[in-house]
């Protein structure tokens, strides 16, 4: 009788430990489910399951796998230190599969403790609408130059199918549809997507929504990607201040350069702890050095601040500074040792 009770107690402890292991790992993910909705055949359909290490120990993702070949998972960063972010990318294989698809992505974490997190994805891949290529790829463009790309949209089913509108929340896009070519139950449009010259520098990762007169599946998403290269380049783009004691200061240096000669007219930051020294003299140059000094206040904790650099070219650039001020340990930093049984 005593032996039976001992075995039962050991089983309960084991199950509790396993449950706790799953809970701490799952808390790192912003979401564990995603529905792609209805997408066209051949369209690019990817989703990033973001995660952040909120624990003291390093987190190591050993592997990811999918229950269905319709979805291919990948890892952006295998090892995450405290406060570092990463993502599990789920790619819906729209060129090889059709119809309603669901998949479970298993994420295996082996350090500092073993745990598994399950991510759920679903989507419906249309067989009657095909994109060639599967996304609007604008490529790399010089700031101020604008650019364009084309996608062929083909519908198979009836000759009188129509695209009635193309929508986007991004005002920097201009879209033009050609006259449709109809015949043998197919309709083909050539869609030209133009990027306005005034588009700011940075990566483009957006979406167009094609609207048709098909009452059953009226909207179809289409991914838009590209990059507008800045006239100005700041290095480093992410300035690591590090950990600073209250009242102490740290000085770093930014390098701002361009193919054109320019002057730095101003440097600002909403964080009052940052001080800047503008380049002296009136001479325009292709490269400027800007000392950045951070003076730590009395408020402990981590910080993120955007530094804005203005020039006489009419363009400006940004740099993101991160760091922390020493003090009592913040409540939002948890320890896996306190929450996960050994």
Predicted confidence band of residue 7 (pLDDT cuts 50, 70, 90): very low
The answer to whether position 297 is within a domain reads yes
Q: Write down which residue in 183, 207, 229 finishes a domain.
A: 229
In which domain, by residue range, is 32 found? 2-126
Chain centre to alpha carbon of residue 129: 27
Are 200 and 228 in contact by the 8 Å Cβ rule? The answer is: yes
Least confident of 66-80, 124-138, 273-287: 273-287
The answer to whether position 93 is within a domain reads yes
Judgement on whether residues 119 and 167 belong to the same structural domain of the protein = no
Judgement on whether residues 102 and 183 belong to the same structural domain of the protein = no
Judgement on whether residues 170 and 263 belong to the same structural domain of the protein = no
C-alpha span between 264 and 139 (Å, rounded): 29
* More confident: 303 or 340: 303
Least confident of 79-83, 94-98, 304-308, 328-332: 328-332
- Identify the CA nearest to 136 among candidates 181, 192, 183: 192
In the chain, the percentage of residues whose pLDDT exceeds 90 is: 77
C-alpha span between 342 and 113 (Å, rounded): 8
Predicted confidence band of residue 23 (pLDDT cuts 50, 70, 90): confident
- Residue 180, domain CATH: 2.60.40.10
Mean pLDDT score, 205-232: 93
Q: Write down which residue in 72, 105, 126 finishes a domain.
A: 126
Judgement on whether residues 24 and 87 belong to the same structural domain of the protein = yes
Mean pLDDT score, 81-100: 94
The answer to whether position 332 is within a domain reads no
Per-residue pLDDT, 328: 58
First vs last C-alpha separation in the chain: 28
Judgement on whether residues 80 and 146 belong to the same structural domain of the protein = no
The answer to whether position 337 is within a domain reads no
Question: DSSP string spanning 179-239?
Answer: PPEEETTEEEEEEEEEE-TTPPSEEEEEEEEEEES-SSS-EEEEEEEEEEEPSEEEESSEE
Per-residue pLDDT, 21: 52
User: How many domains, the chain?
Assistant: 3
Judgement on whether residues 209 and 99 belong to the same structural domain of the protein = no
Judgement on whether residues 239 and 298 belong to the same structural domain of the protein = yes
The pTM score is: 0.69
The answer to whether position 335 is within a domain reads no
Q: Tell me: the pLDDT tens digits for 135-156? A: 999 999 988 889 999 999 999 9
Q: How many CB atoms lie within 10 A of CB 27?
A: 14
C-alpha span between 43 and 37 (Å, rounded): 12
C-alpha span between 336 and 311 (Å, rounded): 47
Residue 304 pLDDT exceeds 90:
yes
Are 202 and 229 in contact by the 8 Å Cβ rule? The answer is: no
The answer to whether position 339 is within a domain reads no
The answer to whether position 114 is within a domain reads yes
The answer to whether position 198 is within a domain reads yes
Judgement on whether residues 86 and 63 belong to the same structural domain of the protein = yes
Q: Write down which residue in 229, 259, 290 finishes a domain.
A: 229
Judgement on whether residues 85 and 174 belong to the same structural domain of the protein = no
Judgement on whether residues 186 and 273 belong to the same structural domain of the protein = no
C-alpha span between 305 and 216 (Å, rounded): 47
The 3-state DSSP class for residue 313 equals coil
């Amino acid at each position: 009788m005593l032996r039976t009770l001992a075995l039962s107690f050991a089983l309960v402890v084991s199950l509790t430990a396993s449950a706790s292991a799953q809970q701490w790992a799952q808390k790192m993910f912003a979401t564990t489910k995603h529905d792609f909705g209805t997408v066209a055949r051949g369209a690019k359909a990817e989703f990033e399951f973001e995660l952040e290490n909120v624990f003291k120990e390093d987190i190591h993702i050993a592997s990811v796998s999918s229950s269905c070949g319709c979805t291919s998972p990948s890892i952006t960063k295998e090892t995450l230190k405290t406060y570092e972010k990463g993502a599990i990318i789920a790619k819906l294989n729209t060129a090889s599969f059709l119809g309603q698809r669901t998949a479970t992505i298993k994420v295996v974490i082996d350090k500092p403790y073993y745990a598994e997190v399950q991510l759920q994805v679903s989507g419906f891949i249309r067989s009657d609408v095909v994109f060639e290529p599967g996304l609007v790829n604008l490529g790399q463009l010089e700031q101020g130059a604008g650019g364009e790309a084309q996608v062929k949209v083909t519908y198979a089913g009836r000759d009188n199918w129509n695209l009635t509108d193309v929508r986007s929340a991004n005002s920097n896009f201009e879209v033009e549809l050609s006259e449709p070519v109809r015949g043998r139950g197919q309709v083909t449009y050539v869609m030209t997507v133009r990027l306005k010259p005034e588009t700011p520098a940075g990566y483009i990762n957006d979406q167009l929504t094609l609207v048709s007169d098909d009452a059953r599946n009226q909207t179809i998403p289409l991914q838009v990607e590209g990059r507008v290269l800045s006239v100005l380049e700041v290095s480093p783009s992410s300035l690591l201040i590090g950990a600073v004691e209250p009242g102490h200061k740290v000085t770093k240096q930014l390098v701002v350069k361009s193919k054109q000669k320019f002057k730095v007219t101003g440097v600002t930051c909403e964080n009052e702890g940052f001080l800047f020294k503008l380049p002296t003299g009136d001479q325009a140059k292709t490269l400027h050095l800007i000392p950045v000094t951070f003076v730590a206040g009395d408020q402990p904790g981590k910080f993120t601040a955007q530094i804005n650099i203005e020039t006489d070219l009419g363009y400006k650039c940004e740099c993101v500074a991160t760091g922390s001020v020493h003090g009592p340990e913040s409540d939002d930093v948890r320890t896996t040792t306190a929450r996960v049984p050994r």
